[in-house]
Amino acid sequence: MNRNELTALLTGVAGGEISVSDAILALKKAPFDDLGFAKNDLHRGLRQGIPEVIYGAGKTAEQITQITEHMLNQGQPRVLITRLSAEKASLIQEKLPICYHETGQIALAGDMPEPDGDGTIVIATGGTSDQPVAEEAAFTAAALGNRVERLYDVGVSGLHRLLAHLDTLMSAHVIIAIAGMEGALASVIGGLADCPVIAVPTSVGYGASFGGVSALLSMLNSCASGVSVVNIDNGFGAAYQASMINHIGGNK
């Protein structure tokens, strides 16, 4: 149950449409359900505004299906599943309708919501090779109710490509800057934009990039103010944080 659902429940009680006993029953439900192999957190939407998300890596298709079905049956309108391989997605789709994005290895059970955030989340990548992480971020942001605009392959090796989109950057509410190699994109965008910039280092790069560590350290040492950094390849985490910022006006 998220805040909107709780508000609807209490409004229903106040208007006489829902009995007090039914409302008490809805609120008395355990904060989590034990499925044996997983404990579904049913009150996370109420606590944080965003329901629990399933991390697909390491789980079987059957486990993911059971967790998803349980969440939907408990009234959660949609379930986001990250790090989901195409093979597992195919097995899940035999039993449960999901929208699967293969590039981002991410899926959604339920309908994609209408955007209700304060502004637009812009997702910029240094190169085309960063797209898997970027698409995880873009899909996540959209599933959390945000307008998303993509700026792909605008890295510093051809800075004019980024500067051609200054209007987009300067009108964004939040920017997610995704880059591997030396990770310089975040600092450049941070020096241009007046909104929060969330930097995502990727594991793209040659040997001395150390699987994204070089980009991570560069972003952590950014000289541009207003730049925060998430973990390597963590497009989901960046989008989650961006969505929280984009909904700070109260819409959740």
Angle (deg, nearest 10), helices 86-93 and 61-73: 50
pLDDT tens digit sequence for 93-136: 999 999 999 999 999 999 999 999 999 999 999 999 999 999 99
Q: What is the pLDDT of residue 84?
A: 96
pLDDT tens digit sequence for 160-216: 999 999 999 999 999 999 999 999 999 999 999 999 999 999 999 999 999 999 999
Q: Can you give the pTM of this predicted structure?
A: 0.84
Q: How far is Cα of residue 155 from the mean position of the Cα atoms in its chain?
A: 23
Structural domains of the chain sorted by starting position, each given as residue range(s) with its CATH number in brackets = 1-30 (no CATH), 32-109 (no CATH), 120-246 (3.40.50.1970)
Classify residue 95 by its DSSP letter.
T
Which tokens belong to 36? 């044996």
Name the percent of the chain lying above pLDDT 70. 90
Question: Is the Cβ–Cβ distance between 126 and 92 less than 8 Å?
Answer: no
Classify residue 209 by its DSSP letter.
G
> What residues have CB less than 8 Å from 109, skipping those under 6 apart?
68, 72, 78, 79, 81, 96, 97, 98, 99
pLDDT tens digit sequence for 24-34: 776 666 577 66
**What φ, ψ does residue 241 adopt, rounded to 5°?**
-65, -40
Q: What is the pLDDT of residue 46?
A: 66
Of the candidates 61, 37, 35, 39, the one whose C-alpha atom is nearest the C-alpha of residue 52 is 39
| Block residue for tokens 């392959």 | 153
Alpha carbons within 13 A on the beta-carbon side of 112: 14
* Average predicted confidence (pLDDT) for the chain: 90
